[in-house]
Amino acid sequence: MRSFSKYLSENKSTHIVDVVLIIYSGRFQPPCKHHYRVWNDILTLSSSITGCEVYCRIATSNKVSEESPFSFADKVKLLEEIFDVDPEYIVQTERPYFANEIVDPFTETYAKKNIAVIYVFGEKDDGREESFGENAQAVDLHDLDLTKLKTINNGVNYYEIEHVHIPLPEWSGFEEVSGSAVRSIILDEKLDQREKKILFKKIFGVVPNKSAMALLVDKIESAVD
């Protein structure tokens, strides 16, 4: 996926809005390198917007199941320890793709200003939330004209971004980095520690520290017990 920073010229301005709120919504079960790439690109995008205030947040829930073994607190810990994401950016929401817990305080704080809310979500998340409806747009963000953003009085802006493909070695049995690949690799007794270390570095960009690794293993193994 191309960097968001290429989508806007240096002097791009929103003009019609005073405040832009960019929300990166997802399950993050667990957060991996492709998630971080998107978040990093969102921060790059926010720094390129001029003429208004810009805020970025990550929205994710506390829902836990066998396929989603990580709680909100777990995800915060992994995002902070592996990817150095400031926990203040991460907000627990009941519905990450319709994050009133984030939007409502902003609309109250900036009640006298024109606010534009942008939800950014991955291609694989399309269809997870019925509230997207016809508002969800699969877009190349280099075509995004910030002067045409809907303000909060007219709805929100849902943008589905191109899937970030990070390949894994063929011998791993997986084509690319994904949450399901992480869960399967940790449970795979045929892979030795050296092989898992190679895969973890591909998946996370670094080998997670002992605390983060212990959390990953514990939650994934506990989910199938």
pLDDT tens-digit map of 158-215: 877 777 889 999 999 999 999 999 999 999 999 999 999 999 999 999 999 999 999 9
Query: Would you state the pLDDT for residue 1?
Result: 35
Query: Would you state the pLDDT for residue 81?
Result: 97
- Which tens digit of pLDDT belongs to each residue from 15-45? 578 899 999 999 999 999 999 999 998 888 8
Fold of 4-161: Rossmann fold (3.40.50)
The label of the residue with tokens 């929103």 reads 14
Q: CA–CA separation, 159 vs 164, rounded Å?
A: 15
Q: List, in sequence order, the alpha helices (H) in 18-161.
A: 33-48, 72-83, 100-109
Higher-scoring residue by pLDDT: 134, 113 = 113
Could you give the percent of the chain with pLDDT greater than 70?
A: 82
Of 119, 95, 102, 82, the C-alpha closest to 211 is 82
Considering the chain, what is the average pLDDT of its residues?
84
Q: CA–CA separation, 61 vs 94, rounded Å?
A: 5
And the tokens for 18?
């005073």
Measure the CA angle with vertex 163, ends 116 and 10; round to 5°: 45
DSSP string, 157-219: EEEEEPP---B--GGGT-SB--HHHHHHHHH-TTS-HHHHHHHHHHHHSSPPPHHHHHHHHHH
DSSP designation for 116: E
pLDDT category of residue 69 using cuts at 50, 70 and 90: very high
Of the listed ranges 16-30, 87-101, 141-155, 202-216, the one predicted with least confidence: 141-155
Query: Would you state the pLDDT for residue 49?
Result: 81
pTM of the model as a whole = 0.86
pLDDT category of residue 10 using cuts at 50, 70 and 90: very low
Higher-scoring residue by pLDDT: 66, 14 = 66
Whether pLDDT at 137 is above 90: no
Query: Would you state the pLDDT for residue 48?
Result: 80
Per-domain boundaries in the chain: 4-161, 170-224
Q: CA–CA separation, 200 vs 208, rounded Å?
A: 8
Residue 81, strand partner residues: none
Could you give the percent of the chain with pLDDT greater than 90?
A: 57
